[in-house]
A and B are shown apart, each in its own frame.
Chain A
């Protein structure tokens, strides 16, 4: 029908990926490809201590023997690891002490993305670590955080300033050999964020990291390490964007969370990597290993993710519930449109007694995309009275997309209770007509219905980011109807 065509044309004109610009910033690049020399080069660029170089080389050796995980439900062309730059840093980004020392062009990039670092430092009260390609360019609010003993800095700085802490925990939750992507990260990671909350401290502000891939043919391999000591609390958010490019780019990150007795870590992600164009050309391969451990009793780790970008998403933020009475939560919204593919979910490993976990997953598929929930709930022999509740809802838009739910449940304790609920629904013509009759146009109606569908998850995002995430949902589904 003519009217639908108009809607589509308008949507196309508007362009659906706002973060897709490229910035011309002078960069320092290591030679393309991966070998021991490149790793040594990265290591020397980062001023690694000797043990870390050894660690990297060991990882690289092991990586060469590993196979890529092939069980995920997506098709992927073979990655040519020799056609990637493993190190790209803005030339003027040598450890700025404050925002005033940061290349104004880089600040401009973040401003364009809606993250004006300067304003945020002064007004919003959100501490930001900005990672640009391979390196952290600035971390705001660090002085104020230091007053209460919170450490918030790039992991390269932490390596120098707090070497014992880093050495103790790096790779302790996600072992170097965990999977091929995590292993590659261990070998070549260039930066990331380090957070340490001392005993009994409630972090006075939201901490956040914004990751930006700018350089072409560059992989981003960052590591995040968050340690929450006994009785502490922290809420952390990461956001990600990349320019529109025809070739695919690799992002293989590792995130490790450690929560001690009575500590709580709330980790939220708004992932908006470039998803590729409407024909499935280009886009980020997002292969991320995220895992947290509730080490002490009554510790709590809560993952919230809104995944709208990337050509392929492979990610399973997980919780190891080791302490008695510890709690793990996973709230997820994954939206795929055009030719995007997402295989995402969680693992809840119940080791301690009276441990509880909750999984709420909302998958939305449109266009020719495929979205899969894959989740493991494992209750070990000792996890007496473990409880899990899982709810997976899928929403389909159009005729050519797919939604899949693959739960794995392994229970070795008779007293455990594991529940799984799943639904699949479609946005109905009747729902759309109802909204349109009230004056809400088709695109807005889809966004409204999808936001309603995701409400349970969106409620768990920090307030400052909930609005942003809602808008993002609308943008990612543009052109999905008609």
Chain B
């Protein structure tokens, strides 16, 4: 209980500040003045109907090309990251667990992980991790996620099942230890056992120093990853903000209430 209080106190510091963000793709505006603040140590969930702008938000946060920010700003831990390159944001400690992880043939998962860890360390002015320390870290982290050596030696995500791909995203999350992670529909394509494993991995990272933004369509994931705050995103803006109970409410009543605001043909 005391620890809980301690965390709450800490949480006055805002890790993420999104101010009046407008973003478009192919000339079509998808985010229409979105504002959001996530204090340090908190887990926020974003729920919303298809086409509300959830995935766009995850891409804009991580700097994907093709998404144009027309106005507004994003800051992370005091840095204005609005126009930063994706790798610069990663070096600062921002992470995105992809909804659709890409395949890279011939690049083994383990080689990819090591390259990523050392790129981040290099960008931060730290020494590269030697092979033995890396293997130790990898062993400790993979066991509980049920990631097998066979998966690590295959080409990145090549021939992985939907569930394996998601587990691989979480493996990268726990290996790279970012200070802010966006989880984009990490629950989609997972059966209940895999969902439990993945949630356990994510929960193990929860700390007073780390914030999360969990994007999901369904309440189910939030049974396992308890959010501090739930936001409803529809038509490119936050329509409503509440506690964990808001997710249950949405599960019961659906998004109909918000969807009437949504214009036709929005992009996911």
Interface residues of A, Cβ cutoff 8 Å to B: 1-3, 428-431, 433-442, 444, 448-449, 451-456
Knowing A428-B102, A433-B65, A452-B155 are in contact, say whether A438-B107 is a contact too (CB < 8 A): no
Verify B176–A434 contact, CB threshold 8 A.
no
Verify A440–B106 contact, CB threshold 8 A.
no
A301–B161 Cα distance when bound, in Å, is: 40
Knowing A433-B65, A448-B115, A452-B155 are in contact, say whether A438-B104 is a contact too (CB < 8 A): no
Interface residues of B, Cβ cutoff 8 Å to A: 62-66, 83, 85-87, 89-91, 95-96, 98, 101-102, 104-107, 112, 115-116, 119-120, 123, 155-156, 172, 176
A192–B91 Cα distance when bound, in Å, is: 50
Verify B123–A439 contact, CB threshold 8 A.
yes
Residues of B within 8 A of A441 (CB): 85, 87, 119
Verify A455–B87 contact, CB threshold 8 A.
no
Knowing A437-B62, A439-B176 are in contact, say whether A444-B119 is a contact too (CB < 8 A): yes
From A430, A436, A452, A456, B90 is in contact (CB under 8 Å) with A436
7 pairs of residues in contact across A and B, judged by CB atoms under 8 Å: A428-B102, A438-B116, A439-B120, A448-B107, A452-B156, A455-B106, A455-B107
For the complex formed, measure the closest distance between the CB of B36 and the CB atoms of chain A, giving whole angstroms.
20
A448–B85 Cα distance when bound, in Å, is: 19
From A3, A433, A442, A449, B107 is in contact (CB under 8 Å) with A449
Verify A433–B64 contact, CB threshold 8 A.
yes
For the complex formed, measure the closest distance between the CB of B59 and the CB atoms of chain A, giving whole angstroms.
8
Knowing A439-B123, A439-B176, A452-B155 are in contact, say whether A431-B104 is a contact too (CB < 8 A): yes
Residues of A within 8 A of B116 (CB): 435, 438-440
Verify A439–B91 contact, CB threshold 8 A.
yes
User: Which of B66, B83, B98, B105 is the most central at the interface, judged by chain A CB atoms within 10 Å of its CB?
Assistant: B105
Residues of A within 8 A of B85 (CB): 3, 436, 441
Residue of A nearest to B92 (CB): A439
Residues of B within 8 A of A449 (CB): 104, 107
User: Which of B63, B65, B106 is the most central at the interface, judged by chain A CB atoms within 10 Å of its CB?
Assistant: B106
Knowing A444-B115, A452-B155 are in contact, say whether A437-B106 is a contact too (CB < 8 A): no
For the complex formed, measure the closest distance between the CB of B58 and the CB atoms of chain A, giving whole angstroms.
10
User: Which of A428, A436, A456 is the most central at the interface, judged by chain B CB atoms within 10 Å of its CB?
Assistant: A436
A223–B89 Cα distance when bound, in Å, is: 53
A101–B156 Cα distance when bound, in Å, is: 52
Verify A439–B119 contact, CB threshold 8 A.
yes
Verify A440–B119 contact, CB threshold 8 A.
yes
A364–B106 Cα distance when bound, in Å, is: 15
Verify B112–A448 contact, CB threshold 8 A.
yes
A349–B170 Cα distance when bound, in Å, is: 51
From A429, A442, A452, B106 is in contact (CB under 8 Å) with A452
Residues of A within 8 A of B101 (CB): 434
Residues of A within 8 A of B176 (CB): 438-439
Knowing A431-B102, A449-B107, A451-B107 are in contact, say whether A439-B87 is a contact too (CB < 8 A): yes
A436–B119 Cα distance when bound, in Å, is: 10
Verify A430–B102 contact, CB threshold 8 A.
yes
